[in-house]
Chain A
Amino acid sequence: MSDAPPPCCSVRGLTKNHGQIRANDGVDLEIRQGEVFGLLGPNGAGKSTLVRQLTGLLRPDAGSVEILGHDVVRHPERAARLLGYLGQESTALDELTVALAAETTGRLRGLSRAAARAESAEVLAELDLEPLAGRPLAKLSGGQRRLACFAATLVGERPLLVLDEPTTGMDPVARRAVWTAVDRRRAERGTTVLLVTHNVIEAETVLDRVAVLDQGRVIACDTPGGLKALVAGDVRLDLVWRTEPPLQVAAVAGLAERAERTGRRWSVRTSPEEARELVAAVTTGPAFAALDDFTLTTASLEDAYLQLGGRRGGLAK
Chain B
Amino acid sequence: MTVLSDTETGTAPRAAATGPAPLAPAARLLPALAAVYRAQLARAKVARIPLMFVATFQSVGILVMMRGVVDGGDNPSARAVVAGSSVLVVAFVALNLLAQYFGRLRATGGLDHYATLPVPPASVVLGAAAAYASFTLPGALVTAGFGAWFFQLPLTHLWVLLAVVPLAGAALSGLGAALGLLAPKQEIATLLGQLGMSAALLLGVLPAGRLPQAIRLLRDLLPSTYGVDAFARSFAPAPAWPAVLGDLAVCAGVGLVSLTLATYAYRRATTR
Residues of A within 8 A of B (CB): 1-2, 6, 52, 55-59, 66, 68-71, 76-83, 85, 87-93, 95-97, 100-101, 104-105, 107-110, 112-113, 116, 136, 138, 156-159
Smallest CB–CB gap between B102 and chain A, Å?
11
Query: A109–B24 contact, CB under 8 A?
Result: yes
Contact segment of B66-74, B78-86, B112-120: B112-120
Q: Which 9 A-B pairs have the closest CB atoms?
A: A69-B20, A91-B110, A68-B21, A92-B113, A107-B35, A92-B110, A81-B23, A89-B109, A85-B116
B43 at the interface (CB under 8 A from A): yes
- In the complex, the answer to whether B42 meets A100 with C-beta atoms within 8 Å is yes
| CA–CA, A85 and B109, complex, Å | 13
CB of B272 within 8 A of chain A? yes
A243 to B131, CA, bound (A): 62
The answer to whether B109 touches A107, judged by C-beta atoms less than 8 angstroms apart, is no
CB-contact partner of A107 in B2, B32, B114, under 8 A: B32
Apart from A78-B23, A109-B27, 7 more pairs, CB < 8 Å:
A66-B1, A87-B109, A88-B109, A89-B112, A95-B42, A104-B35, A113-B35
Can you list 28 A-B contacts with CB-CB less than 8 angstroms, sorted by A residue number? A1-B8, A2-B8, A6-B18, A52-B112, A55-B116, A56-B271, A58-B272, A59-B272, A70-B23, A81-B24, A85-B116, A89-B112, A91-B104, A91-B109, A91-B113, A92-B105, A93-B113, A95-B43, A96-B42, A100-B38, A101-B39, A104-B35, A108-B27, A108-B114, A109-B118, A110-B27, A110-B28, A138-B46
Query: With the chains together, A107 CA to B109 CA distance in Å?
Result: 21
Measured in the bound complex, the distance between the Cα atoms of B112 and A89 in whole Å is 8
Q: Report yes or no: B116 in contact with A56, Cβ–Cβ below 8 A.
A: yes
Residues of chain B contacted by A158 (CB below 8 angstroms): 24
Q: How far apart sit A24 and B39, CA to CA, in the bound complex (Å)?
A: 36
Q: How far is the CB of A98 from chain B (nearest CB, A)?
A: 12
Interface string of B10-23 (1 = CB under 8 A from A): 00001001111101
Chain B nearest Cβ from A133, distance in angstroms: 13
Task: Chain A residues near B104: list those with CB within 8 A.
Answer: 91
| Cβ contact of A82, chosen from B2, B17, B23, B47, cutoff 8 A | B23
Residues of B with C-beta under 8 A to A58: 272
**Contact status A87-B113, CB under 8 Å:** yes
Inter-chain contact B1/A80, CB cutoff 8 Å: no
Looking across the interface, which residue of chain A has its beta carbon closest to that of B23? A81
Across the interface, do B112 and A80 meet the contact criterion of CB distance under 8 Å? Answer: no
Given contacts A91-B108, A96-B39, contact A108 B271 (CB under 8 A): no
Is the beta-carbon distance between B116 and A87 smaller than 8 angstroms?
yes
Residue among B20, B21, B104 facing the most chain A CB atoms (10 A cut-off): B21
In whole Å, how far is B258's beta carbon from the nearest beta carbon of chain A? 22
Cα A108 to Cα B118 in complex, Å, equals 7
B113-160 residues at the A interface, CB under 8 angstroms: 113-119
Name A91's contact: one of B21, B23, B39, B105 (CB within 8 Å).
B105
Closest CB in chain A relative to B96 CB, distance in Å = 18
Tell me, rounded to whole Å, the shortest Cβ–Cβ distance linking B49 to chain A: 12
Q: Is the CB of B21 within 8 A of A70?
A: yes
**Residues of B contacting A100 with CB < 8 Å?**
38-39, 42
Q: B115 to chain A: which residues have CB within 8 Å?
A: 56-57, 80
CB < 8 Å: which of B110, B118, B272 contacts A110?
B118
| Residue in A closest to B38 when the chains form the complex, CB atoms | A104
Max chain B Cβ within 10 angstroms of own Cβ: one of A59, A95, A108: A108
Task: Identify the closest chain B residue to A69 (Cβ).
Answer: B20
Q: Cα distance A176–B226 when bound, in Å?
A: 58
What residues of B have a CB within 8 angstroms of the CB of A69 in the complex?
A: 1-2, 18-21
The docked-state distance in angstroms from the alpha carbon of A70 to that of B23 is 9
On whether the beta carbons of B118 and A77 are closer than 8 Å, the reply is yes
Q: Please give, as numbers and ranges, the residues of chain B lying within 8 Å of A136 by CB-CB distance.
A: 46
Name the B residues within 8 Å of A85 (CB-CB).
112, 116
Whether B26 lies near A81 (C-beta < 8 A) is yes
A39 and B8 alpha carbons, distance in the complex (Å): 30
Q: For the complex formed, measure the closest distance between the CB of B7 and the CB atoms of chain A, giving whole angstroms.
A: 12
